[in-house]
Amino acid sequence: MSDLTEERSGTLSEAMERGHLFAEACPSRDVLKHLTSRWGLLVMIALLSGTHRFSELRRKINGVSERMLSQSLQWLEEDGMIDRVSYPVVPPHVEYSLTPMGREAAEKVRALADWIEVSMPRIDAVWAEKRRKAD
Amino acid sequence: MSDLTEERSGTLSEAMERGHLFAEACPSRDVLKHLTSRWGLLVMIALLSGTHRFSELRRKINGVSERMLSQSLQWLEEDGMIDRVSYPVVPPHVEYSLTPMGREAAEKVRALADWIEVSMPRIDAVWAEKRRKAD
DNA sequence: CTGTATCCCCTCCGATACTG
DNA sequence: CAGTATCGGAGGGGATACAG
């Protein structure tokens, strides 16, 4: 066996039979999907720095289309991760922010994203090594 | 976790312009995709408890097809997350385990998955409340 | 036991155009 | 400014059959 993490408190992932994620048609799959989706992940991380308007998110998240930004925001709002506040003015003014629960999720998501960022050099090295062997 | 990463050195996710994940066509997107894919995530979590054979993973991860398990394992192996050791015997015997780097990634992934598991009751409550209002 | 090969559906996601 | 509607491509992923 390995470290304590599993034996002491790792009853969640360890007990796969009981975990929702290992069940086939489970709503937790959808939540995970929204959080880790192409744009959902970036939305969550972006909102960690505070409330944003739609257009602010659009500018900040380079490459996202209006369609997908809107879609991602709706998913995450339905999951209770994001608060959407619309001010009935002209022109429209809508603000998005993380709920307390959303902030917790966003921090987990960011931990994963940050790990990948800092680990990319190592991963690149793996790829380079494989290419070298392939020759 | 949850420590200094945010306030002190939170320049990673904060500096979106510079982060790989915010670039459009970046290999780090692929790594993230593999780690959070439907089955890749479950493979990583399963391997946290130690080395597994192909058929062991297949049994443990309920619902995965041979095709997708094989595919997911190959992706993660190419990314340097998984070690594949094949013993040339009859019948074939292949063992999969996490690399040191893979273990780091798996722990981040598990942290997110576990958070979702324990938070599902809260998320369900959100959905229930929305349905109540919809009436 | 450990996979590959083939077929095919389905959903994500981008592009474009339109609305309040 | 903040979206929605529609079309269409690409690829993830399942079912089945086959192979080493």
Where are the domains positioned within chain B? 37-134
**What is the C-alpha separation between B38 and B91, in angstroms, rounded?**
29
Q: What is the pLDDT of residue B89?
A: 93
Give one word for B50, left, alpha or beta, with left for phi > 0 and alpha for psi -120 to 50: left
Asked whether residue B67, judged by its CB, lies under 7 Å from any atom of the DNA or RNA strand C, the reply is yes
Amino acid type, B71: Q
Identify the pLDDT of residue B3.
42
Q: What is the pLDDT, as a whole number, of residue A3? A: 41
The reported pLDDT for the residue numbered A23 is 72
Q: How far is B135 from chain A (nearest CA, A)?
A: 16
Check residue B4 and give its pLDDT.
Answer: 40
Residue type present at position B66: E
Is the confidence at residue B2, as pLDDT, over 50? Answer: no
Structure tokens at B94: 């292949």
Indicate if the pLDDT at residue B7 is higher than 60: no
Segment B31-56 mean pLDDT? 95
What is the tens place of the pLDDT at every residue in B60-117? 998 899 999 999 999 999 999 999 999 999 999 999 999 999 999 999 999 999 999 9
CA of A64, C1' of D17: distance in angstroms: 41
**Res A131: pLDDT:** 81
Q: How far apart are CA A41 and CA A35, in angstroms?
A: 5
Q: Tell me which fold the domain B37-134 belongs to.
A: Arc Repressor Mutant, subunit A (1.10.10)
Nearest to A12 among B35, B38, B114 (CB): B114
Q: What is the pLDDT of residue B8?
A: 46
Tell me which residue in A21, A111, A117 faces B1 most closely, judged by beta carbons: A111
- Asked if pLDDT for residue B14 goes beyond 60, the answer is no
Confidence of residue B55 (pLDDT cuts 50, 70, 90): very high
CB burial class (10 A; 0-12, 13-18, 19+) of residue A64? Answer: buried
Strand C atom within 7 Å of A66 CB: yes
Picking from B120, B131, B9, the residue whose alpha carbon sits closest to that of residue A117 is B9
Q: Is the CB of A91 under 7 A from strand C?
A: yes
Q: Which two tokens stand for residue B50?
A: 């130690």
Helix, strand or coil for residue B124?
A: helix
Per the CB < 8 A criterion, the answer to whether A104 and B119 are in contact is yes
- State the pLDDT at residue A133: 78
Per-residue confidence (pLDDT) for residue B105, from 0 to 100? 97
Q: Which residues of B touch A60 (CB under 8 A)?
A: 16
- Select the residue from B4, B5, B6, B13 to test the A interface by mutation, using most A Cβ atoms within 10 A: B13
Residue B16 has pLDDT above 60, yes or no: no
**Which residues of chain A have a CB within 8 Å of the CB of B14?**
49
The dihedrals phi and psi of B53, each to the nearest 5 degrees, come to -90, 165
By the 10 Å C-beta count (0-12 exposed, 13-18 middle, 19+ buried), A42 is classed as buried
Residues in chain A predicted with pLDDT less than 70, given as ranges, are 1-19, 24, 135
Give the pLDDT confidence score for residue A13 in this predicted structure. Answer: 55
- Whether the CB-CB separation of B80 and B99 falls below 8 Å is answered with yes
Burial A76-103 (b: 16+ CB within 10 A, else e): bbbbbbbeeeeeeeeeeeeebebbebbe
Q: Which residue of B has its CA nearest to A119?
A: B101
DSSP H or E stretch at residue B104: helix B100-134
Cis peptide before B88 (omega within 30 of 0): no
